[in-house]
Amino acid sequence: MAVRRAMPVDSSIMRLGGLGDGYKMTIAAHGKQIVVVNDGPGWAPPPATFYSTKLWEVEGQPETARFQMLDGYPNVDRAAHPEGAPHYYGHGVIAIGPHIYQFLATLDDAEDRPRRWTGAKLIYSADNGTTWHNQDGSSPVIWEDWEQQSSASFPFFNEPDGCFSLLAFLQQGKAYAANRDGYVYVYGLNGSVDGLMNQLVMFRVPQNRLLDRSAYRFFAGHGHSGTARWSADIADRQPVHNFPLGWINYTNLFPGDLVVESWLPSVVYNAPLGVYMMASAGIGSAPDGTEFGKPSYLGLWVSKNPWGPWRQIHEDSAWTPGDDQGARAYAPQIAPGWIAPDGKSFWLVWADLAGIREFGRDEALVDAEMAKASDASERTMIEAEILRRYMPGFSMNAQRVELKLD
């Protein structure tokens, strides 16, 4: 049977709490999902600090979900971040046996235009997240300063147009147990501007060589009968899929603003149906080119192979979950642990950034309110309250999506 259509169920929408965005997910060997949370304290009660990125464990189904911080994960505490130092934001995460791997994206330091992505750092744990290492095996994890960032320490750095800075792993079951060919598949974007950011690129690597950049093989086009061509040369890369043009901001909403991560893919293998599913979204820009001026674009696709071709089964050019016309839904992710046993439905999660334009407009007022804090802890509490006031949907939202088969 083929998947013909995807139908989000508005009556199923749930607000699962937390504070932050991102929500890339994998399933660890112990059966719990691991979720990435960026720019927030997550589910910490009360919020003790804001993290640029943090990993959380999620146990149970959406109706009973319980969240617990992964304590062994290295701190990316924004309050302790040195002035002017590079930022690191968590993206693709995958569990393979007892190992957990994660790519963290890095930015340039532009102020006169939207900041752009420059590379990806790779870290890993060999003991289900208790201890963490840099790509070269050293520990503790370090956050390289500007002069330390290089292709010698990162698998991707200053690649053409910033490609492969924002990365997502193909998820294939608990601890990658549903994989059958021995490869890890990783998806990225071909740059940071419209015309490139909407191009999906990818590479694959043997499971036991993920830390070895020389083992990466880049998708270089489709061969006969849907086969894929792979190359060791990144210059041979070809888009595996093209998302629609026109869904990426091109100017700053406020000084130091960064280019929004449009088209962040989420790709998960649906084992009961034997099909690969992909979700992605583009950001609706205002007429002046700033982000979230209108609702986002949501697309869902399926394929028989990790490298496509991808067939669209759902398109929404004004993605307003629950018919909330003010919604500014962002970065949809397919939860790999929340696929129905028969494969005929799954849960999509996202953050809603409605209110970010007002937040940017009132930057001076926000700064004045934050300045009242007497210490870092109080500052975190005030910031969390401000974010919840301006952006009440800046948390984990979830919705069941049903698949129509024939």
Question: Per-residue pLDDT for 24 more than 70?
Answer: yes
Per-residue confidence (pLDDT) for residue 231, from 0 to 100: 98
Q: What percent of the chain has pLDDT over 70?
A: 98
Residue 332: count other Cβ atoms within 10 Å of its Cβ. Answer: 26
Tens-digit pLDDT profile for residues 350-367: 999 999 999 888 888 888
pLDDT band at 378 (very low <50, low <70, confident <90, very high): confident
Q: List pLDDT tens digits, range 202-235.
A: 999 999 999 999 999 999 999 887 799 999 999 9
Nearest by Cα to 218 from 234, 207, 198, 206: 234
Report which of residues 292 and 82 the model is more confident about.
Answer: 292
3-class DSSP state of 170: coil
Please say whether the beta carbons of 107 and 118 come within 8 A.
yes
| pLDDT value for 79 | 63
Residue 337: its pLDDT value, please? 98
Average pLDDT, the chain: 93
**298 phi and psi, to 5 degrees?**
-115, 130
Half-sphere exposure of 41 (CA within 13 A, CB side): 19
The secondary element (H helix, E strand) that includes residue 270 is: strand 266-270
Inform me whether the pLDDT recorded for 20 exceeds 70.
yes
Question: What is the value of pTM for the model shown?
Answer: 0.95
> What pLDDT was estimated at residue 200?
98
Q: State mean pLDDT over 155-168.
A: 97
Q: Which carries the bigger pLDDT value, residue 52 or residue 176?
A: 176
- Encode pLDDT of 301-333 as tens digits: 999 999 999 999 999 999 999 999 999 999 999
CB-CB contact of 267 with 168 (8 Å) = yes
Residue 381's pLDDT band, with cuts at 50, 70 and 90, is confident
**Per-residue pLDDT tens digits for 67-95:** 999 989 998 766 666 778 898 999 999 99
Indicate if the pLDDT at residue 258 is higher than 70: no
* pLDDT recorded at residue 274: 97
- Higher per-residue confidence, 249 vs 157: 157
**The pLDDT value given to residue 42:** 94
* Phi and psi torsions of 398, nearest 5°: -140, 145
Name the more confident of 362 and 278: 278
Mean pLDDT of 255-278: 89
